[in-house]
Structure 1
Amino acid sequence: MARLVAKELNAELTQDLQANPFLGDFYKDRNGAAFQAQLFFLLNRYQLLQGLRQPDLFRQTIVTDFIIEKDRIYAYQNLSDSELALYEKLYPMLTADQVQPDLVVYLQLSADKVMETLKKRKELKSLNISPEYVDNVVEAYNRFFFHYEATPLIILNANGVNFSKDRAAVSDLLSYFQKDLRGVTYLTPKTSL
């Protein structure tokens, strides 16, 4: 989705794509590699956002596929109490004074749709991602965005929408970028399929 939006807006795209070397171990044994996997994600996102702090006259619009705050969603799902205490000492140091987005779009999916998507991704097929874990993460995301107030927010019902094939759905979303949004906007995109 971020790639499509960036293309339509002729914007620079910053994606959180670096492979996490601890992720495979995490899904095999959550207790053994959770902290390392979480710190890898946090530090990688920190570095990506640091790169956006430098002003560039040639880039007017930047699209990312993450907000750094989402890192905490996983931290609270996966870390032990002692790991979380250490994480909470690091998190403020790495997130203070970060670039804030002008708008956040949350692609809201059901747990069933997330599981369906995960099963299609080749690199994730071998990982042991349980439906219960996905249910918990989806619930945590919904809870987080229900209370999110840092920027204008579009909660986009992405169930049943294939944005790569449905240009009308992408256009519908982009039309909201031109509006003076405040607070939360709920959107079920118009589709042509």
Structure 2
Amino acid sequence: MKKTFIAIEGPIGVGKSSLTKKLSKTLNYTVEFEIVDENPYLSDFYEDISKWSFQTEMFFLCHRYKQLTDLKNINGIVSDYHIFKNKIFAKNTLNAMEYDKFSRIYDILTEDIRMPDQIIFLDASLEVLQQRIATRNRSYESQIENSYLAQLKHDYNQFYDEVKHEVDAIQIDTTTLDFVHNTDDYQHILTLLKPLIGEIDHDK
């Protein structure tokens, strides 16, 4: 098995952090979680997206840049995000002037940043995403509108279609999967990942 950088992506509530935690243990990889709760603008953002979106996106951009820069010399990483997700979210929340400004800053910060070797895109039905968001019971997420979540699903699917020919990427519909509690479901994901990273010999 070659030591690589695996990024797990997908809409809110799809199970990125849960899969990251399990894969890091199985593969004996360094684990990297994105900063979410530490964002001081997040609660305000979900109450008034148009007012607080620029501050929220800039906080995430700067922190993700710092996190990924610190990982540049580490072999064997599994992360529950990558910095390109900033553009997916920013496109939905910023007005044209703000997005132009954000994009220029993004391009400068990411011109030499480490990109993932593999990307796992997780997806699920809107109803399942809603259930999972409710189950983890984060107060600020209770304000997420269905239209916003549906748009994120659409944008992630579109992004997968754009990058799947440029980087090793797989898309997994987790609507009927419970890879946290069901061993067979988790093994299914490992089977899909194996062709990208080689023999998986640290299964635990």
- 8 Å CA contact 2:133–2:141 kept in 1: the answer is no
Partner of 2:147: 132
Q: Secondary structure at the match of 1:106?
A: strand
Q: Select the structure with the greater relative contact order (CA < 8 A; seq sep ≥ 6).
A: 2
1:125 offset after TM fit, Å? 5.7
| CA–CA distance in structure 2, aligned partners of residues 178 and 30 of structure 1 | 40
Q: Deviations over 1:101-138 (max 9, x none)?
A: 12110011122221111112222466411111111111
What are the equivalent positions in structure 2 for 1:30-109 lying under 5 Å apart?
30-53=49-72, 55-56=73-74, 60-109=75-124
| CA–CA distance in structure 2, aligned partners of residues 101 and 160 of structure 1 | 27
Count of aligned residue pairs for this structure pair: 177
| CA–CA distance in structure 1, aligned partners of residues 45 and 64 of structure 2 | 19
The worse-fitting range, judged by mean Cα deviation, of 84-93 and 115-124 is 115-124
Provide the alpha-carbon RMSD of the alignment. Answer: 1.7
Unpaired runs of 5+ in structure 2?
1-18, 198-204
**Residues 1:151 and 2:167 aligned together:** yes
Q: Secondary structure at the match of 2:195?
A: coil
1:171 corresponds, among 176, 187, 195, to 187
1:15 corresponds, among 24, 28, 33, to 33
| CA–CA distance in structure 2, aligned partners of residues 175 and 35 of structure 1 | 40
Task: Tell me the TM-score normalised to structure 2 length.
Answer: 0.81
Structure 1 stretches of at least 4 aligned residues deviating more than 4 Å after TM superposition: none
Query: CA, structure 1 residues 68+150, in 2 after alignment: closer, same or farther (shift >3 Å)?
Result: farther
| CA–CA distance in structure 2, aligned partners of residues 166 and 65 of structure 1 | 20
| CA–CA distance in structure 2, aligned partners of residues 141 and 175 of structure 1 | 23
1:18 offset after TM fit, Å? 4.1
Unpaired runs of 5+ in structure 1?
182-193
Partner of 2:20: 2
- 8 Å CA contact 1:13–1:62 kept in 2: the answer is yes
2:45 corresponds, among 16, 19, 26, to 26
| CA–CA distance in structure 2, aligned partners of residues 143 and 48 of structure 1 | 26
Task: Tell me the TM-score normalised to structure 1 length.
Answer: 0.85
Partner of 1:185: none
Residue type of the alignment partner of 1:33: W
